[in-house]
Amino acid sequence: MIIVLKPDITEKQIQHIEERIKKLGLKPILSRGVERSLIGVIGEEDKLRATPLEAIEGVEKVMAVLKPYKLASRDFKRESSVVSIKDVQVGGKSIVVMAGPCSVESAELLSEVGHLIKKAGAKILRGGAFKPRTSPYSFQGLGEEGLKYLKKVGSKEGLPVVTEVMDPRQIALVDKYADAFQIGARNMQNFDLLKEVGKTKKPVVLKRGMSATIKDLLMSAEYILSEGNMNVILCERGIRTFEDATRNTLDLSAVAVIKQLSHLPVIVDPSHATGKWDLVAPMSMAAIAAGCDGLMIEVHTNPEEALSDGSQSLKPEKFEELMNMTKKVAEAVGRLM
């Protein structure tokens, strides 16, 4: 259920409404909009229907949300959300580029890549300290050492840091070093993990699972939102189909569909979607034309020797070319970079 509040409602009245909801054993989630503020109610809606909430001062009306993803829905919030990762806003007019190596391999590599992507125009540093790999014998990441490298390079270059968290037991550690959590495709439906990052206020980049529908993705986001963390960014990174010319099939229609269904920002990861470095630039431009709010790009100074995903990583000079090309597309669709 959604409680639509009157424009002139006071903070005291809001507090009173929230207390009434809590007394019913339900959870209120306040969303402040430009024109109207709303309170989303999580829990057994029958209890709410039996309560005359519209009789309370400050309440304009009470509405039912038919979609299963209540808080992620545009029914809950009409205007598009903007999520801040430190001082970088994702979801506004500017298209934000997150870039860096697939995995943090060394302090030297990360320092060099961090400097070059900042120079080319990237706004956020990405890199994996914990790596979920198909084979248990593949490089699994540097763990806390990698997190320390990320924090150091991010601070030096003035770039916020986003990195993957794979397990609820890692949250406190990753929270210590990173500015945003990333939930990878394999963990999109790790509901215990989603609930735990939802209890934090730190931004979460939630990647679509390789076999997940758009509804599945939004329901996973709902787990985070329902715990009170509204700072969620969705990421399309390709899905599995019968096509084998690329690593995955980049579903750019998902960007437009999600924009209709949800207020949450949407970014695109063309690196994992295609698996081929020479397809990253054209798919990045297509993603911007489709309406995405940002890109996540893998960059490595020597992809031939990368410990993970070298085939989809751009060399710094190619990344700079990509940035120049995407700026033109962004301008054509009324966006900034």
**pLDDT tens digits for 104-137?**
999 999 999 999 999 999 999 999 998 666 676 5
Phi, psi (degrees; rounded to nearest 5) at 15: -60, -40
pLDDT value of position 98? 98
Residues 32, 161, 128, 177, Cα dihedral to 10°? -100
Over residues 216-245, mean pLDDT? 97
How many of the other CB atoms lie within 10 Å of CB of 320?
Answer: 17
The pLDDT tens digits for 302-330 are 999 988 889 999 999 999 999 999 999 99
**What value, to the nearest 5°, has the Cα angle with vertex 294 and ends 109 and 161?**
40
pLDDT at 8 over 80: yes
Average pLDDT over the chain reads 93
Mean pLDDT within 261-275: 97
Alpha carbon distance 296, 213 (integer Å): 20
The pLDDT of residue 139 is: 63
Tokens of residue 55, six digits: 């009789």
What pLDDT is attached to residue 242?
96
Task: Give all domains of the chain, ordered by start, each with its CATH number.
Answer: 2-63 (3.30.70.1140), 83-332 (3.20.20.70)
- How large a percentage of the chain has pLDDT more than 70? 97
pLDDT of residue 168: 96
Q: What are 296's strand-pairing partners?
A: 98
> Would the pLDDT of 35 be above 80?
no
Can you tell me the mean pLDDT for 133-146? 74
Would you place residue 149 in the very low, low, confident or very high pLDDT band (cuts 50, 70, 90)?
very high
Phi-psi region of 91 (alpha: psi -120 to 50; beta: other; left: phi over 0): left
DSSP label at 180? E
Indicate whether 36 pLDDT > 90.
no
d(CA 322, CA 327) in angstroms, rounded, equals: 9
Phi, psi of 185 (to 5 degrees): -55, -40
Instruction: Determine the Cα–Cα distance for residues 281 and 24; give it in Å rounded to an integer.
Output: 52
pTM to 2 decimal places? 0.91
Sequence-distant (≥ 6) Cβ neighbours of residue 128 within 8 angstroms = 101, 102, 103, 104, 141, 146, 163, 164, 308
What percentage of the chain has pLDDT greater than the value 90? 78
The stretches of the chain forming alpha helices (DSSP H) are 11-23, 45-49, 107-120, 144-157, 171-177, 191-198, 214-226, 253-261, 270-274, 277-290, 316-332
Query: Do strands 294-298 and 266-268 pair parallel, antiparallel, or not at all (unpaired)?
Result: parallel
The pLDDT of residue 51 is 76
pLDDT at 44: 76
Residue position matching structure tokens 């198909």 = 134
Contact 29, 228 (CB under 8 A): yes
Closest CA to 283 of 257, 316, 245: 245
